[in-house]
Each structure stands twice: as structure tokens, then as C-alpha cells.
Amino acid sequence: MCDDISVWLERIVEGDPTAADVLWQCYWEKLITVARQKLKSSRRRVADEEDVALSAFNSFCQGAAQGRFPDLNDRRDLWKILVTITARKASAQHRREHAAKRADHDLRGESVFGHAKQEPGGGIDRFVGLEPSPEFAVMAAEQCEQLLAKLDERQRQVALLRLEGYRLAEIAERLECVPATVRRQIHRIQAKWSEVD
């Protein structure tokens, strides 16, 4: 099943739920590993890496069915999109937890003892595939976050929507502006990012 990713990608764009099930089976362990890496400094009692991975995959399926990923052609494209969405979901979860921590620092749950659990040895890291390793994906996602931190709020919105595969007209519609404004924001983003070492 996982050998025919291109076929399943075509089907998921058509909204085939069977394709979503197959792709989930092929990628869930890798997505959980990426989410775990991103959440390692986070409290896991509110939402753990499985929740983040599932939410990211669900967002991907919805976006694919809506045609938001025009460059989705093969497993490499798929992996880049899944890592980006998963990293964003994990970062959002981390931000929510820190906001909640400031609001209520006495939150407790059974997962307080989660750090004592033995992590599975090796897991997906033992296998070499065409996709980048989860560690590399996390490193790339962290670099992406550093670049996003250089932007103001409006530029960050434009950049994130562009990374999710939205076209200029779609971004303009979502942000209630004209495509020329989005184009200018993208040029400013490129200028800021070109200054980064």
C-alpha cells in the first residue's frame, strides 16, 4: 500500500476516505515522532503527540480535498506538507500550554508522570526511507519557526498560508485584501528572510 503513494494522493485529492486511511497507516508513526520531538519540552497532559499528529493529518486531508496543495505530486511533497502542518500544530499547542500555564499554573493530570515512561527503542528511526528523518524534519521546522519569528503578524499570516499551499487570490480573500497587497507582503517577507544568515 505505501509503495503507491502517488495513486493514494490522487485519490485523497478526490476526497476518497479510503485513501486517507491508507496514508494515515503509512505516516502516523512518523508524524507522531515529529510531534513528540516538537513537544518534548511541553506538558503532555493536555494534548499529546498523537493528538497533534491526528489533527495535522486531518488538516492535510481537508486541505487536499479543497485543492490547497497544487504541488502535491509524490511522497516527498507529501512529507514536506505533513511535517510543516505537524510542526505548526505542535507549536500552537505549545503556545496554548504556555498561555494556560500563565493563567493556571496548578494544572495536574496523570500524564505528570509521562516523563518516567520508557520511550520505544529505535522505532521508525531505524528505517531509512526517501523522506527526511524525523529529526531533520524537526530541525527544518524549527528553522522555519525562526524565520517566521522575524515577521510581523500580517506577514506571518501570509507566509503560513503560502506554506499551506494557498494561492495569492485565496490568501487575499482570507485576509480580506487585494492580491497586490499579498504580493507586496511576499516581497517584504523575501527581503527579510534574505537578510538572515
List the domains of the chain with CATH numbers: 1-102+131-138 (1.10.1740), 150-197 (1.10.10.10)
What is the SS3 assignment for 70? coil
Range 34-72 burial, b when 16+ CB lie within 10 A, else e: bbbbbbeebbbeebbbebbbbbbbebbbebbbeebbeeb
Q: How does pLDDT run along the chain (197 residues), one tens digit per residue?
A: 677 888 888 888 888 888 888 888 888 888 888 888 888 766 554 457 888 888 899 889 888 888 888 888 888 888 999 999 988 888 887 777 766 665 555 544 444 444 444 444 444 444 445 566 777 777 877 888 888 888 899 998 898 888 888 888 889 998 999 988 989 998 888 888 888 75
pTM over 0.75: no
Residue 180 to residue 171: CA distance in whole angstroms: 11
* Residue 81 near residue 56 (C-beta atoms within 8 A): no
Dihedral of CA 139/40/45/35: which sign?
positive
Residue 158 to residue 174: CA distance in whole angstroms: 10
* Residue 57 near residue 30 (C-beta atoms within 8 A): no
Q: Nearest CA to 85 among 125, 52, 113, 118? A: 52
Helix axes of 179-194 and 168-175: crossing angle, nearest 10 degrees: 110
